[in-house]
Homo-oligomer: A and B are copies of this chain.
Amino acid sequence: MSESNLNSFVPVTAVAKKIANSKLVQETRNLFFYQLQHQKDKDSFADYVIIVRTKALNKLSGLEKEAHKTKLEETCRKVLTRLNLAGLKFEVRRGAEDLIFIFVLCPLKRLKEEVDRSRVNDWLVGVRIRDIDDDSSGSDPTLTDAERLRLVHDIITNPRQENGAGINPGLEDFELVECFLPLHDRNYNEDWIKTWSTKWIIDKNDLLLLRNHFGEKIAYYFAFLQYYCEWLIIPSIAGLLTYFFSENYSITFGLFIVLWSIIFTEFWRRKEYELAVWWGVRNFSRVEKRRAGFREESKIISHITGELVPYFSPWKRWLRRAFAAPIIIIFSLTLSLALLFYILFEVIMSEYYTGPFRNQLIYLPTITYCALVPALNVIYIQIAKKLNEYENYETESSYEFNLTQKIFVANFLIGYLSIFFIGWVYIPFNEEIGYFFQSFFDLFGLSFTIKNVGSERLVTELKYFILTAQIMSLFMELILPYLLRFGTFGVKKIQKNETKDGSKNEDESAFLKRVRREVKLPVYDVYEDYVEMISQYGYVSLFSVIWPLTPVFALINNWIELRSDAIKLCEHTRRPIPSRADSIGPWLDNLSLLTWLSSITNPSIIYLYHPDTKGFTSSSGVIFTIVLVWFSEHIFGVVRYIVQQMLAAFPTATDALVQKEEYELKKRWLEKAGVSTVSPSDSDLQEKKEDSKWFQNDDRIEDLEDVLREILRELKEE
């Protein structure tokens, strides 16, 4: 785009004409211009787009319409007033029939203020170690995209008392504000996808670039995925060897997998910490601010600051948790029952039932499943969200932690229950179940055949989850969105031409069109991606002894997933608002939990299915399995303790980095405090010279020598 074109970029709509010559527009245009010149990207017109959504006016009655319009005007005015008070620049545009776009840009001066404030704050609580006015290490690290967006987001959402605009979408006065949307940086996205898809291994620097652009929270997911992917190589090789050269249900492979799981989990814990240091987010949770959705019970005078602060009694939260827990448990049981019903139904239809319409009825379980389970899951998620909201957590991370743990219960059941049922109940008690259903079917006079099911059924089930489910999910994530969008675009084509966006300028129009497109995309939810990976880790660590190729296919899937998730993030979702994180949070706990479970599943699977034991054929099998599991769990505990201790004994390079920065700070401060850190000169340390010097004061030498000599003489006399 040439500069003349840029200068001609003046809104020329009916509205715009009027204000084209006013100061504000001049200023804003300069602002845009500045951005265009510096970012070399014609799309970066704003840091954020605040989306205000109006109701469909034609569906409202007269009175409602008026009320809504008044509310809309009030909201918009309030947003603009607040943004102005917070020192931000903005432009308003009609986005679509039901959308108003408020483009927000943070002037450099205001941004610098916020950067300073935030860095001082970080330094004080130990997130940042390097001294604020320490310029010894060169210039300040440049402000990354992610930090800029995070800080601007802070300015918009921070309460007025902290010089923010205090705008929180969907809350109180801002009910009509839908969200804040940072716009995708197309150049970055193209580069990203290009780099990653042409590289075998994603390295440290790739992740740093990602973190600089999307923030630590997103970067942690990709870092974890990459790390996990690398670590999968080891069990993949072991799996291949076992598959081709060893017996089924190999004890060695089982032990190996449990050990691998322990070591991987502990190494990731270490890696995670290293990343936190490297990315400068260690201890970040100490500066985490209050969640916007937090509802205070009352305001109390803080013992700490002496100011009025919102307060919610922890007792009350625990009461609410105690109230929520049974609901979660009941719902998990319902879900479990539904799943068990499906599994049994499927088993009956595919294995036992030989009556009429068999060929048609065989699809019935799958249909029931598709109709029932996703619906139940959606309901469950809704309930979990409500309960979590009700429990009223104070910070975003504690809110997220508890929500994740609640929802993960459902994912856990859907992902593993059928394998547990088939492996530990259905196959071991195959005959008993067969007889039970025979008598049941006989009651209704339906024809029935008892079929003996062996361990191959378990392998089939696992293969389904590893192969079919992974391909399905890839399709759902990557290809379906294209198809869906193509579909809706086709339908909406006619409407689109009518869209009034208050701009007939080509560039502006193209830009607004792009914003509209991005608004239509779903929000990126890192939860979905984590749950997929952690579930897969579960298959590898819990069940790969059943089918040793599991890690191999997981490895292949993850290699693709790493790239396809990048495409998904760029193409199929809105750009996420960057936020900090110093860990993968609840997922680390889930990782540990699954690792612990692997110490239960592996020995029991091997005991039940190994050709030499065939544990499930004897009647005391159940008891012996528990005894075995008891020992296995304790051995697991000991091994994990040793691994943890060993890792703790080896400081990482990052530890040295932290210590070095702390040491330098310490030195500077000791100097400032007037305490000398200069070591005594070498000559002082020379013991030989000491002897000849004795004391500085000559008188004293004589005296002391005398006392000493006298004592020694006495001793010698003895």
CB distance A318 to B649 under 8 Å? yes
CB distance B126 to A718 under 8 Å? no
Q: Which residues of B contact A714 (CB under 8 A)?
A: 94, 500, 502
A691 at the A/B interface (Cβ < 8 Å)? yes
Tell me the A residues contacting B by CB distance below 8 Å.
Answer: 14-16, 18-19, 22-25, 54, 57-58, 69, 72-73, 76-78, 80-82, 84-85, 92-94, 97, 100, 113, 116-117, 120-121, 124-126, 132, 160-163, 303-305, 314, 317-318, 500, 502, 620, 623-624, 626-627, 629-630, 646, 649-651, 656, 659-660, 662-663, 665-666, 669-670, 673, 675, 679-680, 684-685, 687, 690-691, 694-695, 697, 699-700, 702-704, 706-708, 710-712, 714-716, 718
CB distance A23 to B715 under 8 Å? no
CB distance B80 to A314 under 8 Å? no
CB distance A81 to B659 under 8 Å? no
Q: Which residues of B contact A620 (CB under 8 A)?
A: 623
CB distance A703 to B22 under 8 Å? yes
Known: A80-B704, A81-B691, A94-B714. A318 touches B646 (CB 8 A): yes
CB distance B94 to A703 under 8 Å? no
CB distance A23 to B703 under 8 Å? yes
* Chain A to chain B contacts (Cβ below 8 Å), 24 pairs: A15-B711, A19-B703, A19-B707, A22-B699, A24-B699, A54-B715, A76-B708, A77-B691, A80-B704, A84-B700, A92-B708, A92-B711, A100-B711, A113-B675, A117-B675, A120-B670, A121-B666, A304-B656, A502-B710, A502-B711, A502-B714, A626-B626, A626-B630, A630-B630
CB distance A160 to B77 under 8 Å? no
Question: Which residue of B is nearest A56, CB measured?
Answer: B718
Q: Which residues of B contact A304 (CB under 8 A)?
A: 656, 659-660, 663
Known: A19-B707, A23-B703, A665-B124. A712 touches B69 (CB 8 A): yes
With the chains together, A132 CA to B672 CA distance in Å? 11
Q: How many copies does the complex hold?
A: 2
Partner of A125, one of B84, B163, B662: B662
Q: Which residues of B contact A715 (CB under 8 A)?
A: 54, 57, 69, 72
With the chains together, A304 CA to B655 CA distance in Å? 10
With the chains together, A473 CA to B673 CA distance in Å? 52
Most buried by B among A626, A685, A694, A715: A715
> Besides the contacts A92-B708, A304-B656, what 20 more A-B pairs have beta carbons closer than 8 Å?
A16-B707, A24-B704, A25-B703, A57-B715, A72-B715, A81-B694, A84-B694, A84-B700, A92-B704, A113-B675, A124-B670, A160-B685, A161-B685, A163-B680, A304-B659, A304-B660, A305-B660, A318-B649, A502-B714, A623-B624
